Amino acid sequence: MIIRTAISMLMAATLIAGCSPLAKIEKSGDYQKKLAYANELYARKKYTQAHDLYESLLTVYKGTTQFENLYYRYAYSTYYMKDYIQAAFHFKNFVDYFPNSPHAAEMAFMQAYCFYKLSPQVELDQSNTEKAIGQMQQFIDTYPESDKVEEANKIIDACRAKLEEKEYRAAMLYYNLGYYQAAAITFNNVLLDYPTSPRSDEYKYLVIKSEYMYALNSVPSKQEERFNQVITDYLDFMQYYANSKYAREAATYYHLAQQNLKSLSHE
């Protein structure tokens, strides 16, 4: 009895589904009706259903005057489904298909924006973050008059800040593990990569600190050279960051390096 009831319910559900407006439209050979219903679903934010209908109509309408608007909504329905890889592909295709469209700049921006949406947390691989920067810069270069340029620049800044933070964390990891030479090199690279960063004084200070620890833990025959490097970088720090909040701490390592050099000269 239970089995027969379950089968009856399944058959009823299948019958209802088969009689649904979407099922009828999907079976219909009336392409205009299909397109109109897809647009209705899109307007109602039923993006998955609209996407499937649009996809079934791509080859039908390709080359017609209606294809541009169809593909525009198809690309966006993919984006709203959060399939950002495919959405980026379709936004790019739109620009390739319709380079003179009034939507071309918007689509180019959205292609770049998809890579921004794919940009992961700082500790993960940042390939998509780098792609977002490249694509946003290309968008700015291609459409400098677009009203999206300001937003694109903000996204580039946000992506660069994420890459900067990843490099900083890598340098700190080296330092915390006691790999002081690697830490000094990596902090210096962060400074070279982001010279206008508001944290540039911190990076230079951490170069000095890492170099001091590297010198302190070196074999005696290498210490003079390495303590002198601490002094050189401290003097460079004071030339650019004399008013930094890290100036006093940097001076501590400068004086310690001098004291160690004096001790070495007396040995």
The distance from CA 157 to its chain's CA centroid, rounded to whole angstroms, is: 11
Query: In this structure, what DSSP letter does residue 124 have?
Result: S
* pLDDT given at position 86: 98
pLDDT per position as a tens digit, 222-253: 999 999 999 999 999 999 999 999 999 999 99
pLDDT-derived band of residue 267, with 50, 70 and 90 as boundaries?
low
* pLDDT given at position 17: 47
The b/e string for 147-167 (b: 16+ C-beta within 10 A; e otherwise) is ebbeebeebbeebbebbbebb
Write the CB contacts of 143 (distance below 8 Å, at least 6 apart in sequence). Answer: 105, 108, 109, 149
The b/e string for 90-126 (b: 16+ C-beta within 10 A; e otherwise) is bbbebbeebeebebbbbbbbbbbbbbbebbeebeeeb
* pLDDT given at position 16: 47
Q: Whole-number mean pLDDT of the chain?
A: 92
- Look up residue 118 and give its two tokens: 């794919």
- Look up residue 35 and give its two tokens: 């397109």
* pLDDT given at position 22: 59
pLDDT per position as a tens digit, 80-128: 999 999 999 999 999 999 999 999 999 999 999 999 999 999 999 999 9
Contact 188, 207 (CB under 8 A): yes
* pLDDT given at position 265: 82
Which residue is listed with tokens 């501590």?
252
Q: Identify the burial level of 255 via C-beta atoms within 10 angstroms of its C-beta, where 0-12 means exposed, 13-18 middle and 19 or more buried.
A: exposed
pLDDT per position as a tens digit, 117-153: 999 999 999 999 999 999 999 999 999 999 999 999 9
pLDDT-derived band of residue 45, with 50, 70 and 90 as boundaries?
very high
- Look up residue 62 and give its two tokens: 């390709």
* pLDDT given at position 72: 98
How far is the C-alpha of 25 from the C-alpha of 196, rounded, in Å? 58
pLDDT-derived band of residue 20, with 50, 70 and 90 as boundaries?
low
**In sequence order, what DSSP letters do the residues of 135-189 get, joined into one string?**
HHHHHHHH-TT-TTHHHHHHHHHHHHHHHHHHHHHHHHHHHHTT-HHHHHHHHHH
pLDDT per position as a tens digit, 185-219: 999 999 999 999 999 999 999 999 999 999 999 99
CATH placement of domain 178-267: 1.25.40.10
pLDDT-derived band of residue 266, with 50, 70 and 90 as boundaries?
confident
Q: Which fold has domain 100-169?
A: Methane Monooxygenase Hydroxylase; Chain G, domain 1 (1.20.58)
Closest CA to 109 of 68, 64, 156: 156
* pLDDT given at position 27: 62
> What is the residue extent of each domain of the chain?
22-81, 100-169, 178-267
